[in-house]
Structure 1
């Protein structure tokens, strides 16, 4: 059986989750409790003001390592209730335990999620055969479309090209959040499968489009979502000068949001804008005054304002 798809280039672009998705932070109250009202307001802002087609909740940016399973379910319900009629809600459910991941998938589906983000099992470093069995078992156990999350610098293991090609045969595995930073590997998979690739690195969105990606799952898109959508639309329309100009304009924030851990600076930026965010949970620490000053400079370099 061959897994090659020589007609891939002729297929229309599929965007099962739209163009622009934000890996949304999880707002907390000052005492560190989950702020569900704040989550609903932030989700509405991201969809209505920042032009997001979908939101990823309970990802790493949402501090999933420090939220409980019950909190994760409540957060999905709150965000679906707030924006589920006008945006897709994708639930991060990935763990390094296949059984636990399947349990989280069932809870997310019951809570109303429209899709699942499943990260490579981290720390225990399974072989490729283990990855194939893990992702297949999760997709078999749920009725929701699955976006794989390939981020070897966090998980310790890449999803190899041949593994991705084999996983593409599963009817519910439809997309990849690609944070591998290897556009050659991305090119091979997009040329051989119908998987919808989303850049998992904000600054690589434009070059990733050129090798077959369809959008971005971003972090800086808490602030740059509408302009990032413009950039992708310009690329789709064949207006490369406009797309490149927006890429270069937004580069200070595409990269600056990661000067320290992304959640930390996103929450600092949201707080400065009067939007729900709250503190981070340990072991993360809140942004320092110097880090916020640098973030303000990065906003200014991108032609945006972050109030004092």
Structure 2
């Protein structure tokens, strides 16, 4: 599967009554396609997977598939309690998704063999290939990575741990496997800040939450990144991404809440976040608007 472009993680729109708004979610996705995302990851972290039931996940995925209309791959989120993960996997397959992103299982202590069994159960639930998210309760070991690489249904590994040494080892395991079809992703928060380092160790792809709210800046960074324009990358990091990260770190959960607020500030009424996340305070929303304005000025100059 080819992932040529910024990996787009859309928000999930909600109605005033708090229900999933499939039409507005599709509009949100469609409005970003002109900025050439490499794939759409529907109902994943930025899309509040944690707050959706399996029926809602399928609704979001179906909206994404309709909006994309075959232009780029649609990757559907699945994870959480095993039964929920299986339902999401089957629903995504029925909705026409191209692959699954397997998020961590329910937060319970377990050995890495349990993680592999969990991934295996999700794989068995549909015919879709999977990308495994290495983070949280699904942290992988070197041996576990080797076993995943040996499974042809696994087409990607996404790193959300941030252990550069281990990420380098994972990249070497994949390279030595000869699997040119298996992709590696940087899945750290605001991955633009760390992506140049990840590329140096053999992880060329990254997810961008910023793409959901200000695609022109995320696309400009990606263009500079693939063009090895280090000065332009540094400018965008210093003047846009670093202030955004400072604001993001002010309140737990803002990695998602700020993005959804940014989409609303852009004129699309996608609704609030669901509990346990909280929307930005008026002061933080004003600061977000300032940072977004700086970003727009940077790419319009």
Q: Which runs of 5+ in 1 are unaligned?
A: 1-14
What SS does the corresponding residue of 1:92 show, helix, strand or coil? strand
Structure 2 distance, partners of 1:103, 1:274, is 34
Worse-matched range after superposition: 60-69 or 109-118? 60-69
Asked if the contact 1:175/1:198 (under 8 Å) is kept, the reply is: yes
Q: Which residue of 2 aligns with 1:198?
A: 185
Quote the Cα distance in structure 1 between the aligned partners of 2:88 and 2:27: 24
Over residues 137-194 of structure 1, what are the superposed CA-to-partner deviations in whole Å (9 max), with x where a residue is unaligned?
3224432221111222xx3x51122211210111111112211111111110111114
Match of 1:24 in 2: 10
1:87 to partner: Cα distance? 1.8
Distance 1:174 1:257 in 2: 34
3-state DSSP of counterpart to 1:32: coil
Aligned CA distance change for structure 1 residues 237 and 298 (closer, same or farther; 3 Å): closer
Residues of 1 paired with 2:234 and 2:242: CA distance?
14
**Matches of 2:152 and 2:219, distance apart in 1:** 28
The counterpart of 2:265, out of the listed 267, 272, 276, is: 272
Query: C-alpha root-mean-square deviation of aligned residues, in Å?
Result: 2.3
**Secondary structure, aligned partner of 1:94:** strand
Q: Which residue of 1 aligns with 2:120?
A: 136
Q: How far apart are 1:94 and its partner, in Å?
A: 1.1
2: CA distance, partners of 1:251 / 1:191:
29
Matches of 1:137 and 1:69 in 2, distance apart?
16
Contact 2:211 2:219 in 1 (8 A): no
| TM-score for both structures, normalised by structure 1 | 0.84
The residue number in structure 2 matching 1:164 is: 145
Any residues of structure 2 matched to 1:31-110 within 5 Å, and which?
A: 31-48=17-34, 50-97=35-82, 99-110=83-94
How many angstroms does 1:301 deviate by?
4.5
Aligned CA distance change for structure 1 residues 302 and 252 (closer, same or farther; 3 Å): farther
Counterpart in the other structure of 1:252: 242
The structure with more helix, counted as a fraction of residues = 2
Asked if 1:218 corresponds to 2:203, the answer is: no
Aligned residues of 1:147 and 1:177 also touching (Cα < 8 A): yes
For residues 6-41 of structure 1, give each alpha carbon's deviation from its aligned partner in whole angstroms, at most 9, with x where no partner exists.
Answer: xxxxxxxxx633331122110011221111111111
Deviation of the 1:251 alpha carbon:
2.2
Distance in 1 of aligned mates of 2:267 and 2:276? 24
Per-residue CA deviations over 1:208-267 (Å, capped at 9, x if unaligned) read 112111221221221344444444444444444444444444423662463332221112
Give 3-state SS (helix, strand or coil) of 2:278's partner: coil
Secondary structure at 1:55's aligned position in 2? strand
Deviates more, 1:179-188 or 1:258-267: 258-267
Residues 269 and 176 (structure 1 numbering): CA distance in 2 closer, same or farther, change over 3 Å? Answer: same
